[in-house]
Amino acid sequence: MDWIQQIVNGISLGSIYALIALGYTMVYGIIKLINFAHGDVFMVGAFVGFYAIESWKLSFIPALLVAMGISAVLGVVIERVAYKRLRNATRIAALITAIGVSLFIEYGTIYIRGAQPEAFPSVLPDQIFKVFGASISSQSIFILLISIILMLILQFIVHRTKIGKAMRAVSYDAEAARLMGINVDRTISATFAIGSALAGAAGVAFGVYYTKIEPLMGVIPGLKAFVAAVLGGIGIIPGAMIGGLVLGIVETMVSAFGYSPWRDAAAFVILILILIFRPSGILGKNTREKV
């Protein structure tokens, strides 16, 4: 029965989307900006992981941590250089800036190292488990485990630590949080750092899973992760996880039924349907616009 196999594949892919979507949703929740450059932080994470394994001969976990660290720094730099000045600008200006930053990272990477793809080294044990007749690779289980651990850590940070409390407060009302003595700038930087670290981890996981990385790889997964965030209810952390998983499973199913060329369209069809029928997402509440 390959149903189980498809579902496990879908969950592994979905957990990669969920990791990226978490960063989107956190940033959106806190400064109401679609951070287009997030998909490119994911790409940079994948390349850092690649060079860490290939050139510095690190094993998987240290490489993952290095990729997460560098991605976090990159996220904070992006926020400081490009977004900080735009806190009070129009939404359109912020969105265009984000697209500009995204293109800059993509083509900057191509400028530095060329556009040729790299084969990601296989660092995880590649075994096939037979479960109820389905063959499941150990890599997908590994990816799933790493995602779950990272999401648990994130939940802990957001709900149990001081910085998490500050993040929730700023996302609820930045002005009131500032009046209560919360350092809003530092909180926003922390949000970018955490979100980008998760994207970096997703990049490494993606490299392991698909074995091919290239400078423009962040565009489509970035957009799909945004779809996942909207699907679950943008700004809501558990929503991003659910949205990512749902999207991953739907995509795998579309491929499994023999429509794989239409896979990329599936995510956008879902996006448009959800925007039309339930714009606040699966977990979101409806809010009326005030004049």
Partner 1 sequence: MKKIMGFSIFVLLSAVSYGIVQSLISAGMLNQFYSNTLIFIAINVILAASLHLVIGITGQFSIGHAGFLAVGAYISAIFTMKLHLPFVPALAAGGIVAALAGLLVGIPSLRLKGDYLAIATLGFAEIIRVVFLNIDYVGGAAGMQVSHFTSWSYAFVSLFVTLLVIMNFTNSTHGRACIAIRENEIAADAMGINTTYYKVVAFAIGSFFAGIAGGLYAHNFYIIQPSNFGFLKSFDILIFVVLGGLGSLSGAVFAAILMTIVSTFLQGYPETRMIIYSVVLVIVMLYRPQGLMGTKEITAYLGKWTGAKGEDAYGK
Residues lying near partner 1 in the complex (CB under 8 A) are found at: 34, 82, 85-86, 89-97, 99-104, 106-108, 110-111, 115, 219, 223, 226-227, 230, 261-262, 264-265, 267-269, 271-272, 275-276, 279, 289, 291
Residue 92 or residue 179: which is nearer to partner 1 going by CB?
92
**By the 8 A CB rule, do 271 and 227 touch?**
yes
Q: From the CB of 198, what's the least distance to partner 1, in Å?
A: 21
Residue 164 or residue 281: which is nearer to partner 1 going by CB?
281
Q: From the CB of 284, what's the least distance to partner 1, in Å?
A: 12
Q: From the CB of 231, what's the least distance to partner 1, in Å?
A: 12
* Three-state DSSP string of 131-195: ECCEEEEHHHHHHHHHHHHHHHHHHHHHHHCHHHHHHHHHHHCHHHHHHCCCCHHHHHHHHHHHH
**Hey, what's the torsion of the CAs at 275, 279, 280, 283, to 10 degrees?**
-60
Helix (H, G, I), strand (E, B) or coil at 206: helix
Q: What are the phi and psi torsion angles at 181 (to 5°)?
A: 90, 15
User: Token pair 């001969």 is at which residue?
Assistant: 57
Q: From the CB of 192, what's the least distance to partner 1, in Å?
A: 17
Residue 64 or residue 271: which is nearer to partner 1 going by CB?
271
The angle subtended at Cα 26 by Cα 250 and Cα 52, nearest 5°, is: 80
- Give the whole-angstrom CA distance, residue 203 versus residue 209: 10
Q: From the CB of 124, what's the least distance to partner 1, in Å?
A: 32
Residue 166 or residue 270: which is nearer to partner 1 going by CB?
270
Chain CA centroid to CA 223, Å: 10
Helix (H, G, I), strand (E, B) or coil at 128: strand
Q: From the CB of 153, what's the least distance to partner 1, in Å?
A: 29
Helix (H, G, I), strand (E, B) or coil at 4: helix
Residue 165 or residue 263: which is nearer to partner 1 going by CB?
263
Residue 102 or residue 139: which is nearer to partner 1 going by CB?
102
